[in-house]
Amino acid sequence: MLRRRLHWTLAAAVAAGLAISPAIAGKKDDTLVWSTDRESPIADPYFINIRELVVMGHYVWDTLVFNDPAKTEIRPLLATSWKWANDTTLEMELRTDVKFHSGKPMDADDVVYTLNFVSNKDHAIMNYALMAWIKGAEKIDTHKVRINLHKPFPPALAYLGGLGFIMQKGHWDNAPAKADGKKDYGAVKPNGTGPYKITEIKPGEFIHAVKNADYFKGGYKGTPNIGNIRFRTIKDAQVRAAELMTGAIDWMWDVPKDQAERLAAIPTVKVENAKTLRVAYLGFDVHGVSGNKAFTDKRARQAIAHAINRESITKNLVGPASVVIHAACHPDQFACTADVPKYAYDPEKAKKLLAEAGIAPGFEFDLWAYREREYTEAVIGDLVKVGLKPKLNYVQFS
Mean predicted confidence (pLDDT) in 128-152: 98
pLDDT at 146 over 60: yes
d(CA 72, CA 83): 19
Please say whether the dihedral angle defined by the alpha carbons of residues 222, 225, 231 and 234, taken in this order, is positive or negative. negative
d(CA 179, CA 161): 34
The distance from CA 277 to its chain's CA centroid, rounded to whole angstroms, is 9
pLDDT for residue 25: 52
pLDDT for residue 11: 28
φ/ψ region of 309 (left if φ > 0, alpha if ψ in -120 to 50, else beta) reads beta
pLDDT at 4 over 50: no
Tens of pLDDT, residue by residue over 364-398, are 999 999 878 889 999 999 999 999 999 999 887 65
Longest alpha-carbon distance in the chain: 67
Higher-confidence residue: 325 or 145? 145
pLDDT for residue 9: 32
- Confidence band, pLDDT 50/70/90 cuts, at residue 19: very low
Q: Which has the minimum average pLDDT: 19-28, 200-209, 220-229?
A: 19-28
pLDDT for residue 229: 95
Reference 114, options 155, 54, 62, 66; nearest CA is 62
Instruction: Give buried/exposed letters for 230-265 (b at 16+ CB in 10 A, else e).
Output: bbbbbeebeebbebbeeeebbbbbbbebebbeebee
pLDDT for residue 101: 98
Mean predicted confidence (pLDDT) in 32-51: 89
CA atoms within 13 A on the CB side of 13: 29
pLDDT at 27 over 70: no
State the first-to-last Cα distance of the chain, in angstroms, to the nearest integer: 32
Mean predicted confidence (pLDDT) in 212-223: 91
Mean predicted confidence (pLDDT) in 123-130: 94
pLDDT for residue 26: 55
pLDDT for residue 21: 36
Mean pLDDT of the chain: 89
pLDDT at 157 over 60: yes
Q: Which domains, from first to last, does the chain contain?
A: 3-14+278-394 (3.10.105.10), 17-62+173-275 (3.40.190.10), 66-159 (3.90.76.10)
pLDDT at 10 over 70: no
